[in-house]
Amino acid sequence: MEIKGKTAVITGATGKLTGSIVLELAKAGADCICIYRKNNAEAKKLQAALGRLKMKSLFIQTNLTRPENIEKVFADIERFARPQILINAAAVFEKKLIGDASFEYIRKTLDINFTAAMEMTRKFVEFVRKKIKQKQKPVAKIINIADIVVQRPPAGFSIYCASKAALVAATKSLAKELAPGFTVNAVSPGIINWPFGFAQGRQKNITAGQKKKILAHIPAGRTGRPQEVASAVKFLIENDYITGQIINIDGGRTI
């Protein structure tokens, strides 16, 4: 699918990684509907960047864990454009030992990382089938942002890992269900830039020793860059013969 002239819906758009995806698509000629939860300052920066690229954009601030909000999102989208690309990137990431994980925390993590993505997908598919009329297949592209922890789940992240594993399984199932009208793929980033570490439930900067230990497990010898994930997303949109695949962007960490 040619990206130029298309419209993309991107959830979690104000994140550092997702912002790079938005800019990559805009540079390729896509108008962007950016959905975000709280970061108004980053939303304004991203909107200004899209303006400099002379691409149309719509920014929607909402909580995607409420189904009525997703209904409103698509009502707003219909007034703006007819998107053919959906990027499900909204997510929360937190270390939580099972003994400290409340029912509310488990539900919140699954709602944001998995349930919201499935409801966005359901509404997107319904929207495309109703509004986009073209003979050439595929008509639309869906890309989910997963995580390599699905393959190597670390201790202390059981809920987060489970939510991303659910997203990976759904990606493969939906690829079969929605073919040939839609392709459905996922990208699984490894360590992109340096993340925070965790101590007693609080974030802290990773030490030089911790960085050295992590790099010892990455054949590429470095962390990834947001743009490297963004270029993989662009590739999956442009290639019409790839579906149901999970592309690891991890410097070889999972091999």
Q: Residue 52 has which token pair? A: 């400099």
Number of H helices, E strands in the chain: 8, 9
Domains contained in the chain, number: 1
Using DSSP's 3-state secondary structure scheme, residue 6 falls into coil
User: Is residue 139 in some structural domain?
Assistant: yes
User: Is residue 153 in some structural domain?
Assistant: yes
Domain that includes residue 182, residue range:
7-249
* Per-residue pLDDT tens over the stretch 151-186: 999 999 999 999 999 999 999 999 999 999 999 999
Length of the chain: 255
Alpha helices in the chain (DSSP H): 16-27, 40-52, 67-80, 103-110, 116-131, 158-178, 208-215, 226-238
Half-sphere exposure for 227 (CA within 13 Å, toward CB): 4
The mean pLDDT value for 59-74 works out to 97
* Per-residue pLDDT tens over the stretch 19-55: 999 999 999 999 999 999 999 999 999 999 999 999 9
User: Is residue 2 in some structural domain?
Assistant: no
CATH number, residue 91: 3.40.50.720
DSSP label at 153?
P
pLDDT band at 201 (very low <50, low <70, confident <90, very high): very low
The residues pairing with 49 across neighbouring beta strands, listed in sequence order, are none
pLDDT band at 198 (very low <50, low <70, confident <90, very high): very low
Quick check: 246 pLDDT over 60? yes
User: Is residue 255 in some structural domain?
Assistant: no
Note the pLDDT of residue 208. 86
Note the pLDDT of residue 197. 52
User: Is residue 224 in some structural domain?
Assistant: yes
Quick check: 250 pLDDT over 60? yes
pLDDT band at 199 (very low <50, low <70, confident <90, very high): very low
The residues pairing with 145 across neighbouring beta strands, listed in sequence order, are 187
Specify the DSSP element, H or E, that contains 138. Answer: none
